[in-house]
Amino acid sequence: MDDTFGKHVLVNILLLLANVIGEMIPREFLFSSPKYSEVSLSPDGNTIGFLAPNNNGILNIYTKCVTCNESRLITSEKNNIIDFQWTGVPNVIIFYEDNDGDENNHLYKVNITENDPPHKPFVINNERNVKTIIVANDKRHSKILIGLNNVRPIFHDVYEFDLINNELKRIMLNERFPQPIYVDNDLRIRLAYQEKDDGSREYYRISDNADPNNVTSSDNDWVLYLTVAQEDTHLTKPIGFSGDNRRIYWLWGKDTDLGELVVHDFGHPEANEILHTAKKAEIEYKFQEDIDDSDIFIHPADKTILAITEIYHKPHIYVLNETVREDFDYLNDLKYQTGSPLIVGVSQDFRTWIVTYVSDRVPYEFYLYRRPERKATFLFMARPQLEGWKLSSMVGFEFVTRDNLTLQAYLSLPPNTQLRKPSELKDTVMASYAAKGLLPRKPQKMIVDVHGGPHYRQKYGYSRTNVWLTSRGYAVLQVNFRGSTGFGKKLLNAGNGEWGRKMHYDIIDAVNFVIKNGIARRSQIAIMGGSYGGYATLVGMTFTPDVFACGVDIVGPSNLVTLLEAIPPYWLGNYNRITLMLGADKNTTEGREFLRSRSPLFFADRVRKPLMILQGANDPRVARNESDQFVAALKANNISVTYVLYPDEGHGFRKPENALAEAGLTEQFLHRCAHGKFQAFSLEQHNSSALVSFTVVDIINLIIGAKSRPTFTSRF
């Protein structure tokens, strides 16, 4: 039988089954590795690279020519590759490999044209307990710059690596500056910053007397360039240099709430030329990161800024250079009903692009765009198994908090939810909510999904979490509370010192909003989240124990004192900013008391509702002890908890077998307390590494059919 025909038959059977069991999308469609991820284009525009699982389910690098259907396996690594980049040497790729979640990633290079795959990678650095970072990778050069903290864990020395002869030499001895170190297009170190005691930043330029091949961090090699006030540090940062390296682009936060895009002659920050003033949301950018990690579209050769994107409810593209206006007009028209174009790869000659679309209902379709012909050709879907399934929509809306802050949030309702019509409502405000698609005919079961960071934000687009939970019958509420990025420095800085207080009140106010407007049932609202979202879950279970039906904490800190005591060493260069965010320093008696007052650990005896905690044993950001000590406190108070520990994971769960088990455990747990649907699950189903501990009244006992069992640990 033709394999393609067989796959179509299987998809149709699964779709038919979905109608029978209530349109539950199989977990495997959502939490297994996508067929295509980290999609990029070679500098010559001839080859597409991407990550995909090999026959053993491990993420490896594949390539295919832009006109080919067949893909080639390039690597056969035993650990997941988490990212890769093309380089200035034809057919040479550099890539990061995961090390069981400890974020001390290893760096390798590989030539994709070598015969007899799998190709053997060259080790650039795989030292234990060393965090390797790419400082600069300009596609016009045969060298890259990398950072290694193998001498001083706090700071990264900068090394030049020759991609042709594999020579590695140090060009900067760094005893002072955190990352990033800012480099121009010729790989010359130009700028660095240092944090001051009050959380402000001083940017320094390299002095004219410094040896570019032997830079130090001493005062002799650096000259003060610019001082940025504490309240402006988030919005003020370099973006990159003009093609001739004479001018430098910045995001600028002084005297503006949302920020500006500016440029000035290097050395003259007082003479900014404003290129764009943010209208509705911040412009986001990560220096020297890949193109799809930012809201700024830059020409690969001449470094002209061509367009920027602001995301409030949905993305809005502003074209800044008329040479690409017709390109964006064409790309917008191509999928104007379902998504906003996002350029994820361009050739150095700028003639060939890879484009995807940001959409809540379509999980990343990729197109090859030929600029001279102004024609886009469909390539593939990241998750083709989701084709034909009806996915939930993300509806952006605003609400007002108890202290009169206007916040942005998203609501996702289960597909096929019956909605109230504006014409049915006499109240104009309610009618406006109905016009947005916010008002179901009957209140819903709901999950409040709290984002991490907290200097992060919820964004519009495809979300496997939203799709998964809505297919299980839950509405999903996602709040950009104070302390979130994306909505201006006033809102961001309003979160300073408000962990467990006003940041949590914002979430409670959003919950009250959806209850008041008939969107959710008070008795069936659960809270979950990762990192800060896990902390918010623990706060919800302890500080407001009667609000939520249950909670799922994923790698969340429980004690802000021990959180600060165990942060990664390479974060210490920004320690003052972290303590400003938390509200106190652990190194004073008053500070420790303040941090304890905001730490769920010391209120564990207040937990009244079911709680599940998931933790990676190798987490460098939120150490395992954060979960261990909270679980111990619950057990000391005879309070039930389900604890899931992954010995081969870190700050979140990258390995698909672990993510699948996480989803299986979570949806069954939520079913018990919030009463949504769940897909059948058994402990050994996905060959996960998880260790699960629970007590007699926990949901896991009910899943496996035991009426009474002692606490134990099982591996699956």
Return the beta strands (E) in 31-167 as ranges: 37-41, 47-53, 59-65, 72-73, 81-86, 92-97, 106-111, 122-125, 132-136, 143-152, 155-162
Cα dist. 80→48, 343, 675 in Å? 19, 25, 35
Residue 410 shares a structural domain with residue 530: yes
Question: Domain for residue 259, yes or no?
Answer: yes
pLDDT for position 85: 98
Catalytic residue among 106, 156, 234, 651: 651
- List the single range of 10-24, 60-74, 637-651, 666-680 with lowest mean pLDDT: 10-24
pLDDT for position 118: 63
Average model confidence (pLDDT) for the chain?
93
Nearest Cα neighbor of 456 from 623, 652, 298, 670 is 652
Q: What is the pLDDT of residues 109-151, one digit of tens each?
A: 999 997 655 678 999 999 999 999 999 999 999 999 999 999 9
Catalytic residue among 531, 558, 627, 688: 531
Name residue, tokens 């998931």: 614
> Quick one: tokens of 139?
């596609």
Per the CB < 8 A criterion, the answer to whether 224 and 194 are in contact is: no
Locate all alpha helices (DSSP H) within 298-449, ordered by sequence: 325-334, 428-436
Locate all alpha helices (DSSP H) within 614-708, ordered by sequence: 624-636, 656-674, 699-704
Domain boundary among 298, 320, 342: 320
pLDDT for position 172: 99
Question: Domain for residue 664, yes or no?
Answer: no
Average pLDDT, integer, range 327-352: 95
Instruction: Return the SS3 of 552.
Output: strand
Question: Domain for residue 68, yes or no?
Answer: no
pLDDT for position 663: 97
Locate all alpha helices (DSSP H) within 525-654, ordered by sequence: 532-542, 560-565, 575-582, 589-597, 624-636
pLDDT for position 337: 80
Task: Report the distance separating Cα 284 and Cα 342, nearest Å.
Answer: 14
Q: How confident is the model at residue 9 (pLDDT cuts 50, 70, 90)?
A: very low
Q: Is 359 known to be catalytic?
A: no
Give the pairing of strands 642-646 and 611-616: parallel
Q: What is the pLDDT of residues 603-628, one digit of tens each?
A: 999 999 999 999 999 999 999 999 99
Question: Domain for residue 66, yes or no?
Answer: no
On the 0-12 / 13-18 / 19+ scale of CB atoms within 10 A, 97 is buried
Catalytic residue among 619, 671, 689, 698: 619
Please give the helix or strand (H or E) that residue 712 lies within, else none.
strand 712-715
Percent of the chain with pLDDT strictly greater than 90: 88
Q: What is the pLDDT of residues 201-239, one digit of tens each?
A: 999 999 999 999 999 999 999 999 999 999 999 999 999
Residue 311 shares a structural domain with residue 435: no
Question: Domain for residue 12, yes or no?
Answer: no
Residue 297 shares a structural domain with residue 409: no
Q: What is the pLDDT of residues 270-312, one digit of tens each?
A: 999 999 999 999 998 875 544 445 789 999 999 999 999 999 9
Domain boundary among 300, 320, 340: 320
End-to-end CA distance of the chain: 35
Q: What is the pLDDT of residues 336-347, one digit of tens each?
A: 788 999 999 999
Question: Domain for residue 480, yes or no?
Answer: yes
Question: Domain for residue 153, yes or no?
Answer: no
pLDDT for position 702: 43
Q: What is the pLDDT of residues 407-436, one digit of tens each?
A: 999 999 999 999 999 999 999 999 999 999
For helices 532-542 and 502-516, the axis angle rounded to 10 degrees is 70
Q: Is 40 known to be catalytic?
A: no
Residue 589 shares a structural domain with residue 444: yes
Task: Report the distance separating Cα 226 and Cα 220, nearest Å.
Answer: 17
**In what order do the strands lie in the sheet containing 340-346?**
340-346, 352-358, 365-370, 375-381
- pTM summary value: 0.93
Q: What is the pLDDT of residues 583-606, one digit of tens each?
A: 999 999 999 999 999 999 999 999
pLDDT for position 4: 44
Average pLDDT, integer, range 91-99: 94
CB atoms within 10 A of CB 149: 22
> Quick one: tokens of 440?
């179901």
Q: Is the pLDDT of residue 185 over 50?
A: yes
Q: Is the pLDDT of residue 574 over 60?
A: yes
Give the pairing of strands 444-450 and 520-530: parallel
Q: What is the pLDDT of residues 643-656, one digit of tens each?
A: 999 999 999 999 99
CB atoms within 10 A of CB 638: 8
pLDDT for position 704: 45
Residue 306 shares a structural domain with residue 420: no
CB atoms within 10 A of CB 64: 17
Q: Is 531 known to be catalytic?
A: yes
Residue 470 shares a structural domain with residue 612: yes
Residue 613 shares a structural domain with residue 529: yes
Q: How confident is the model at residue 683 (pLDDT cuts 50, 70, 90)?
A: confident
Q: What is the pLDDT of residues 45-84, one digit of tens each?
A: 999 999 999 999 999 999 999 988 899 999 999 999 999 9
- Tell me how many domains the chain contains: 2
Percent of the chain with pLDDT strictly greater than 70: 92
Question: Domain for residue 44, yes or no?
Answer: no
Domain boundary among 596, 616, 650: 650
Q: Is the pLDDT of residue 703 over 50?
A: no
Higher-pLDDT residue of 69, 496: 496
Residue 441 shares a structural domain with residue 563: yes
Residue 470 shares a structural domain with residue 611: yes
Residue 400 shares a structural domain with residue 315: no
**Which domain covers residue 544, as residue numbers?**
394-650
> Quick one: tokens of 86?
């093309």
Cα dist. 505→479, 515, 524, 536, 559 in Å? 11, 15, 19, 11, 19
CA dihedral sign of residues 279, 453, 497, 400: positive
pLDDT for position 408: 99
| Domain CATH code at residue 508 | 3.40.50.1820
Q: Is the pLDDT of residue 16 over 70?
A: no
Task: Report the distance separating Cα 258 and Cα 486, nearest Å.
Answer: 8
